[in-house]
Homo-oligomer: A and B are copies of this chain.
């Protein structure tokens, strides 16, 4: 089998890899129906996050179960399944509290940008669909594996409720699906921060009511203006930089909620500033597994169409072009078909 391996900044290779095998009785092997490139893959791709030697890539996946280990009970060969980017046993205390992405036996998936994948803790990680879905549903279902689940968590962690005024910082796929999620949760006003025409359009399609193109302090000033000097009830930080985080915190009202779901890179928060900002702060790797059943239902029932974030589809062998297109912001998100 061939798979995707990052050797260094912008040195991505699709090359021979060992065929995935059952290693633990709790494993499953799936043949990929679709996989994709994540915004977070761009951090090491751009050399902004160090790697230790050649690193297999990919953590978003859906496909058909080929084989399961002897202890697997809840999925079986032939089923179509979607799993989280973080494995979970779904039984430990952290899972019980709904934080499956902090499962005590968590592993972060990698190696998913390939035609076949081994998934540890299959029972607690994978969710099967009622039948094998049609091809047109694949992009939407694939987003549930990470990017939709992460946007959904961003909205949930920012306490979005019916009637909320919401700001979304970041116009990547997660930010855009944060807009979609806020809309589903009943937000009345959704202000998307974006200076990119195509992404603005998709944000509006997903439910954004306002677009703010300014950034940093000027962006915050616009939000404060748009909210009559008060700030937003909920702010979704979907980037992970110091600037975006401060923008998010300043854009929230006193007592408002700020979520952060982009892995922070070089972000430092001053305790006293946070104190006087009076916001609620919650973030982390999205507990996608908690939301998977609901999100799969919404996609299968046609209530949401999150697959719209994929604006480039390539054979998985051309994964390097998928990265390049996202790196150069020619594509929002690249879908890869084996």
Contact = CB atoms under 8 A, between A and B. Distances in A.
The CB with the most chain B CB atoms within 10 A, among A101, A279, A281, is that of A281
Contacts of A228: 93
Interface in A301-329: none
A102 B101 CA distance: 35
A163 interface: no
Interface stretch (A11-19, A132-140, A253-261): A253-261
Nearest to A262: B275
Interface residues of A, number: 40
Contacts of A253: 93-94, 97
A265 B272 contact: yes
Nearest to A228: B93
Interface string A242-268: 100100000001110000100111111
B254 A275 contact: no
A133 B132 CA distance: 73
Given A267-B271, A272-B267, A254 B285 contact: no
Contact of A275 (B93, B242, B264, B278): B264
Contacts of A93: 228-230, 253
A228 B272 CA distance: 33
